[in-house]
Amino acid sequence: MKNSLISSLILALLFLSRVSFSLFCSNQNQDSATIVVDQSGHGQFTKVQQAIDFIPAMNNVWTHILVKPGIYKEKVIVPRNKPCIVLEGHSARDTVIQWADSSEVTRSATFTVNAENFKARNIKFQNTYNENTRRGDLKPIKQAPAFQTTADKVSFYQCAFIGVQDTLSDLQGRHYFESCYIEGAIDFIWGGGQSFYQACTINATAAIQGRLTGYITAQGRNSETDTSGYVFNQCTVVGTGQVYLGRAYMQYSRVVFSKTYLSNIVVPEGWDPWGYAGREQTITYAESQCTGPGADMSKRVKWEKTLSRAELAWLTNVNTFVNQDGWLQKQPF
């Protein structure tokens, strides 16, 4: 206990000496601080939210929160005024942040990030509200996100997102996901984010409760000038039951699957206009060089887009679609 108190005091002095009120993070190889979260008491804190709360407002120091293995049952929020955070666990198998809530979709996420320049690695985010449903209980499925972000310049590496409906609330800003695992049944990647999913595994559990079909995405692009959209590049889509690649959450919804393996769970039609039947011309749903039994496009909806070579090149290049200013390279490794 004494050692933890001394460590906390040292960290406080470190922050106070380095903080300036700017949203720009310090160079990745310079000013940095590390906070250890450990349930056993061998770190500065035993809860992840405690570590977030400790970071000063308008922080501009890249701050590592190192989370030791364990199941952390807590609801965590990173407020908008606390940028420049790297959250790192041991692995997504043994470092879990878990909660159970479905009170309101934009307020019930297990982990919420509202601050820009956030990076997560080797963490599992899980909302267990619908857990009984996954096991066959006939309780109605409700919206229960595992993760929510409304911030720009947010990235994830080797993370897992587990839920049933609205698992990943990818709401706003530019985001990058690499080698992540995302599981759900209904609209389990949804929102108005501008996001690139690289080499991720998408597990659609549409067969729960004997459901006929599920939906992977519900993307919310709302105008021709809106730059948002979801791009899945070199990913893998597996699961149980039958699933649509996406349905239109907004009239200009945009989703692209490129060089992705699609298992036989994908319905032949591929896509659903949802509430925009008859106005599909504004929806941009496209596939390019996908493989697997679910990649057969012979029965796809007639309004699926065939993108030009230039459009496809822009969307499927991480540097042109989400990393225009090189923010990914500026985040710590």
| 94 assigned to active site | no
Which H helix or E strand runs over 2?
helix 2-18
Give ∠ CA 175-176-179 in degrees, rounded to 5.
145
Which helix (H) or strand (E) is 133 found in, with range?
helix 131-134
Strand pairing of 254-258 and 229-233?
Answer: parallel
Judge whether 38 counts as a catalytic residue: no
Catalytic residue, from 152, 166, 170, 272: name it: 166
Q: Cα 154 to chain center, whole Å?
A: 9
Helices and strands per DSSP (H, E), number in the chain: 6, 26
Measured from the Cβ of residue 226, the count of other Cβ atoms closer than 10 Å reads: 15
Which residues, listed in sequence order, are joined to residue 286 by a DSSP beta bridge?
256
Residue from 53, 94, 137, 187 carrying the catalytic annotation: 187
Let me know: does 197 contact 231? Beta carbons within 8 Å. Answer: yes
| Catalytic residue annotation | 166, 187
